[in-house]
Amino acid sequence: MPNRVIEKPVAELYRRIHVERLDGVVQIQDAHFTKALYFRRGRLEFARTTVIQERLGEILYKLGKINQTQFWSLHKMMEGRKDRLGQVLIHARILDSQTLALALAHQAAAIAVGALSLNSGTWEFSPELPEIPEDSRLGIPIPRIIAMGMSRMANLAYFRNRYYDQTASRFSLDPELLASLGSETRTLYEQLPKLTGIACGTFHLHLKCTEDITWTHLVHLYLINGLGFSEVSHADKEIDHNIENMLALFNRINSGNASHYDILGLKDTANEDEIKSAYFRLAKQLHPDRLGNAPDPGIREKANFVFSAVNKAFDILNDPQRRRAYDTGETEEDESQGRTQSNLRERARMLYQKAKTLYSRHRFWEAATLMDEAVKLDNDKSAYFMLLGMAQVHISSLRRSAERNLKRAVELDPWNADAIAGLGLLFQEEQLVNRAEGFFRKALSINPDHKIARKRLEDLNGGAKGKRSLFGKKK
């Protein structure tokens, strides 16, 4: 019976096929296309598609293996031929067998990856696998497909909603597979034992990472069987709830806009009994010792800060004389009155400087996280968006965001050759050769001495010495 993608993503099926090493065919369809993916022992062996962009001719052109003239002549070449396109191209000496094999593997992976971006349509799995010729068996591991598709994953919300209140337990991963993961995904994998018992929805609070990035890593590890989800105990749920409340109160206090009444959750007309009741409730809930063994030392530091603020608020409001002075504004409070715009810009500048250092050390996730905060504090600096985008270029799951941020950098400064070259790097990573070349040429038109753009353009053209065109043909 067909499964609706919106109710059960294809990614869940990929995980099952990978974990159970299944044989079978996955049929995927919606109103506009059909796909068939053939798996043997948990690996992708072959794939078919009616999606135009995923056909072999388009893949070869995108990879720069055939030129535009050859691409447009494919239909004519196939007239009256029963052979497959790849064999026709080999016979015409346009491709060799090795290039064809690589292109077929790229095509099959692209078909499988494309299914991860679906948010409509249906899929159906049949355990009966037809015979596949030996020369067509590609043997592509599902973890590789997952890694390629994380940036296009359309169903992260499904996993977040399903597993938000559950905790994650680490499973053993093959050393080679573990080594192939990005450094930040590996870091989360290594920290999972410390997070056991904590609801996944609060992981980002302990990891000092954005919620979206945390879930991207979690889902990636889950789909390659690096972790499993399970219910959180009642005691752990209470701790998570206390941490969330504490952090929310910390942010209010730290903003400089929380009065002593706000801290205790009271109106300024509260009587003595209400003040005491509110204090004892918060003291019980927010005492640092009631927050469990939080793996992030910063959590406990914030808890101590909040608990101190709660005590101070109670001390003042519970004393009639001090409360009267506080209400009439006769005392000078030491709470911050809010950050000025210059404070925010200075904070953004400091984050930018630190992120540049991290980027130079290839610590791209950390650099991206800092710059994500920086552009929120100061959103009119082209250099900030450029560094954010460049860091995200190196993170496959964030390349869509990288494109958006690099384009924003160019909007803010149309003569920013670095940002334009960054877009070229992005599209080169995505193997969109023609688009990459266009941006490298544009960067060089602004700055003819731009070393990265010139070097990458030479690489695309087969190197300066060979003087080859984009499609590998000698000029």
Half-sphere exposure of 15 (CA within 13 A, CB side): 17
Question: Is the same domain home to 262 and 141?
Answer: no
Residue 89: inside a domain, yes or no? yes
Q: What is the rounded distance in angstroms from the CA atom of residue 177 to the CA atom of residue 174? A: 5
Residue 467: inside a domain, yes or no? no
Pick the residue with more confidence: 54 or 11?
Answer: 11
Residue 201: inside a domain, yes or no? yes
pLDDT of residue 235: 53
Question: Is the same domain home to 142 and 7?
Answer: yes
Domain boundary among 152, 184, 211: 152
Token pair for residue 354? Answer: 């630190």
Q: Report helix, strand or coil for 166.
A: strand
Handedness of CA 4, 8, 11, 13 (dihedral sign): negative
Question: Is the same domain home to 9 and 138?
Answer: yes
Token pair for residue 459? Answer: 């690489």
Residue 430: inside a domain, yes or no? yes
Question: Is the same domain home to 354 and 295?
Answer: no
Residue 332: inside a domain, yes or no? no
CATH of the domain at 316: 1.10.287.110
Domain boundary among 198, 232, 266: 232
Question: Is the same domain home to 270 and 365?
Answer: no
The model's pLDDT over 411-434, given as tens digits with 9 standing for 90+, comes to: 888 888 888 998 998 888 877 888
Torsion of Cα atoms, 243 then 162 then 178 then 233, to 10°: 50
Give residue for tokens 């038109």: 445
Q: With 80 as the cut, is the pLDDT of residue 236 above it?
A: no
Q: What is the rounded distance in angstroms from the CA atom of residue 63 to the CA atom of residue 343? A: 48
Average pLDDT over residues 307-326: 86
Residue 406: inside a domain, yes or no? yes
Instruction: Please report which confidence band the pLDDT of residue 289 belongs to, taking 50, 70 and 90 as the band edges.
Output: low
Question: Is the same domain home to 41 and 136?
Answer: yes
Of 262, 265, 254, 343, the closest CA to residue 305 belongs to: 254
Question: Is the same domain home to 16 and 143?
Answer: yes
Mean pLDDT of the chain: 83
Question: Is the same domain home to 300 and 347?
Answer: no
If you ran DSSP here, which 8-state letter would residue 474 be given? Answer: B
Domain boundary among 152, 175, 199: 152
The model's pLDDT over 128-174, given as tens digits with 9 standing for 90+, comes to: 877 776 666 788 999 999 999 988 888 888 898 889 888 888 888 98
Torsion of Cα atoms, 449 then 453 then 454 then 458, to 10°: 180
Question: Is the same domain home to 26 and 116?
Answer: yes
CATH of the domain at 404: 1.25.40.10
Q: What is the rounded distance in angstroms from the CA atom of residue 284 to the CA atom of residue 288? A: 9
Strand arrangement of the beta sheet that strand 24-29 belongs to: 3-4, 122-126, 24-29, 34-40, 43-49, 140-141
Q: What is the rounded distance in angstroms from the CA atom of residue 326 to the CA atom of residue 260? A: 9
Of 195, 215, 188, the closest CA to residue 295 belongs to: 195
The model's pLDDT over 95-135, given as tens digits with 9 standing for 90+, comes to: 888 888 888 889 999 999 999 988 889 999 998 877 776 66
Question: Is the same domain home to 136 and 173?
Answer: no
Average pLDDT over residues 368-392: 88
pLDDT of residue 141: 94
Residue 472: inside a domain, yes or no? no
pTM metric for this prediction: 0.54
CA 242 to chain centre: 28
Token pair for residue 234? Answer: 């009642």
Q: What is the rounded distance in angstroms from the CA atom of residue 416 to the CA atom of residue 386? A: 9
Rounded to the nearest 5 degrees, what angle is found at the Cα of 66, between the Cα atoms of 62 and 69? 110
Instruction: Please report which confidence band the pLDDT of residue 330 belongs to, taking 50, 70 and 90 as the band edges.
Output: low
Question: Is the same domain home to 278 and 290?
Answer: yes
Task: Give the count of domains, the chain.
Answer: 4
Q: What is the rounded distance in angstroms from the CA atom of residue 299 to the CA atom of residue 355? A: 23
Residue 263 structural domain: 242-327
Residue 237: inside a domain, yes or no? no
Helix axes 97-116, 10-20, angle to 10 degrees: 120
The model's pLDDT over 42-56, given as tens digits with 9 standing for 90+, comes to: 999 989 899 888 888
Question: Is the same domain home to 321 and 354?
Answer: no
Instruction: Please report which confidence band the pLDDT of residue 291 belongs to, taking 50, 70 and 90 as the band edges.
Output: low
Q: With 90 as the cut, is the pLDDT of residue 13 above it?
A: yes
Q: Report helix, strand or coil for 175.
A: helix
